[in-house]
């Protein structure tokens, strides 16, 4: 008779056989999987045999999310990661080598600027910032060393949009890969692969998770490109976690409903704020005043633009800080895409890596606040945000 610990460990490791499929994907909270032979393990580690060996390589809960996201983005394959930045890093490093160049939008998420400065530069990869809202400037910027053009469906935080299909056409003529960060739109509002893009990236931390309770990322595209990105993720350890994958799967089930409510709430707030005292300008793609309004109408499902607004306050940095202090319903916090309305000040948070000149180049003003409109009642949001924007003494 084996000792107690031996029996306890064996007894507690027996996974039940279940003949009825669970309605939800189980959380496979295990780092490793028992194999039948050394040959089997070798084949699993090389992905030449279906199955799982070690959760840094793959895991059934991860696979369920990868398959679901691939289906919703119209991709052949997907790979999920520990964060959106791990997915961005994997795409960039699997596409570019030392000596090659990456084109990014001038108005790009600050994390990309951080990646370029802290990591890519050390790897000998150069980054060129271009106003990607002007397709002709992207065409001019493509050189012999350009391998990848990075776009965001809707830019963080300015909400600028590039003509993905037109840029893809030019890029492919030069054998340049196009990757699109689709975090702000989510797969419900836009499928960049259908516009010709080669790869799509998500921070699942945002709309896909939807509740500010996970961090995660995803890469979607052809099996070959996703396989190359997966190789980077496995080797640097940027892998996802089963609980986070489970929560992202749960989020996907209500993504469409949430995106519709985010979009209608955001439009109500944008309309109210554009006429409110203390506000210079509201940038939201569904407003006719947005520079890419027509493009948004043609690119995003039903002309809906999600929950992200950029609000330029008249009083500069001070007004931006006061806005955040006055909030009663919305929460002053970084991140976006959740049930709660979240407000932040990009100049001091997501874009803090940028110098004053880089901020201006990215279309940011010191008084700009970024608002991630949540799922609350629209009247409460309008009242809260209009009051927070009002000039001192009013």
From 85, 107, 161, 234, residue interacting with ligand PLP (rule: CB under 6 A):
85
Q: Please tell me the count of residues contacting ligand PLP according to CB under 6 A.
A: 14
Binding to ligand PLP (CB under 6 A) within 93-122 occurs at 109, 111
For ligand PLP, which stretch binds (CB under 6 A), given 9-17, 56-64, 79-87, 242-250? 79-87
Residue 352 CA: distances (Å) to CA of 84, 202, 255: 18, 22, 30
Tell me how crowded residue 22 is: count the other CB atoms within 10 A of its CB.
Answer: 7
- Catalytic annotation present for 206: yes
Cβ atoms of residues 304 and 260 within 8 Å = yes
Report if residue 150 touches ligand PLP, rule: CB under 6 A: no
Which residue in the list 131, 181, 198, 384 is annotated as catalytic? 181
Q: Which is nearer to ligand PLP, 81 or 265 (CB)?
A: 81
Output the smallest distance, CB 203 to ligand PLP, in A. 3
Report if residue 183 touches ligand PLP, rule: CB under 6 A: yes
Q: Which is nearer to ligand PLP, 219 or 234 (CB)?
A: 219
Binding to ligand PLP (CB under 6 A) within 187-246 occurs at 203, 205, 215, 217
For ligand PLP, which stretch binds (CB under 6 A), given 27-35, 113-121, 139-147, 179-187? 179-187
Output the smallest distance, CB 46 to ligand PLP, in A. 29
Residue 95 CA: distances (Å) to CA of 91, 153, 303: 6, 20, 32
Output the smallest distance, CB 132 to ligand PLP, in A. 14
Cβ atoms of residues 132 and 154 within 8 Å = no
Output the smallest distance, CB 89 to ligand PLP, in A. 9
For ligand PLP, which stretch binds (CB under 6 A), given 10-18, 78-86, 240-248, 296-304? 78-86
Q: Which is nearer to ligand PLP, 64 or 151 (CB)?
A: 151
Q: Which is nearer to ligand PLP, 6 or 117 (CB)?
A: 117
Output the smallest distance, CB 317 to ligand PLP, in A. 21
Q: Phi then psi for 338, rounded to 5 degrees?
A: -115, 175
Report if residue 127 touches ligand PLP, rule: CB under 6 A: no
Q: Which is nearer to ligand PLP, 150 or 323 (CB)?
A: 150
For ligand PLP, which stretch binds (CB under 6 A), given 25-33, 59-67, 82-90, 260-268? 82-90
The contact set with ligand PLP (CB under 6 A) reads: 83-85, 109, 111, 152, 156, 181, 183-184, 203, 205, 215, 217
């Amino acid at each position: 008779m084996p000792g107690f610990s031996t029996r306890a460990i064996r007894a507690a490791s027996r996974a039940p056989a279940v003949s009825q499929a669970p309605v939800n994907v189980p959380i496979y909270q295990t780092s490793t999987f028992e194999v039948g032979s050394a040959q089997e393990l070798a084949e699993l580690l090389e992905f030449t045999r279906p199955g799982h060996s070690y959760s840094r390589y793959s895991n059934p809960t991860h696979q369920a999310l990868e398959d679901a996201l691939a289906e919703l983005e119209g991709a052949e394959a997907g790979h999920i990661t520990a964060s959106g930045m791990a997915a961005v890093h994997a795409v960039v490093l699997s596409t570019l080598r030392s000596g090659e160049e990456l084109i990014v939008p001038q108005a790009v998420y600050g994390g990309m600027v951080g990646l370029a400065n802290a990591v890519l530069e050390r790897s000998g990869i150069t980054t060129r910032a271009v106003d990607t809202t002007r397709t002709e400037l992207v065409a001019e910027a493509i050189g012999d060393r350009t391998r990848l053009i990075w776009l965001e469906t809707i830019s963080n935080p300015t909400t600028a949009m590039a003509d993905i299909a037109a840029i893809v056409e030019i890029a492919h003529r030069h054998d340049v890969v196009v990757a699109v960060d689709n975090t702000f739109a989510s797969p419900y509002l836009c499928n960049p692969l259908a516009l010709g893009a080669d790869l799509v990236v998500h921070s699942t931390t945002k709309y896909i998770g939807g509740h500010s309770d996970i961090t995660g990322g995803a890469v979607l595209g052809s099996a070959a490109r996703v396989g190359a990105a997966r190789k980077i993720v496995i080797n640097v350890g940027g892998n996802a976690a089963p609980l986070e994958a489970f929560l992202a799967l749960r989020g996907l089930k209500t993504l469409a409903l949430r995106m519709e409510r985010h979009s209608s709430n955001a439009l109500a707030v944008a309309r109210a704020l554009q006429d409110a005292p203390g506000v210079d300008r509201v940038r939201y793609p569904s407003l006719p005043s947005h520079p890419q309004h027509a493009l948004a109408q043609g690119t995003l499902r039903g002309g809906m633009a999600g929950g992200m607004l950029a609000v330029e306050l008249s009083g500069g940095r001070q007004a931006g800080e006061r806005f955040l202090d006055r909030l009663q319903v919305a929460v002053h916090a970084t991140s976006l895409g959740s049930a709660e309305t979240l407000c932040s000040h990009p100049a001091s948070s997501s874009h803090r890596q940028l110098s004053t000149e880089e901020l201006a180049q990215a279309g940011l003003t010191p008084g700009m606040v970024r608002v991630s409109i949540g799922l609350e009642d629209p009247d409460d949001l309008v009242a809260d945000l209009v009051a927070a924007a009002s000039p001192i003494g009013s």
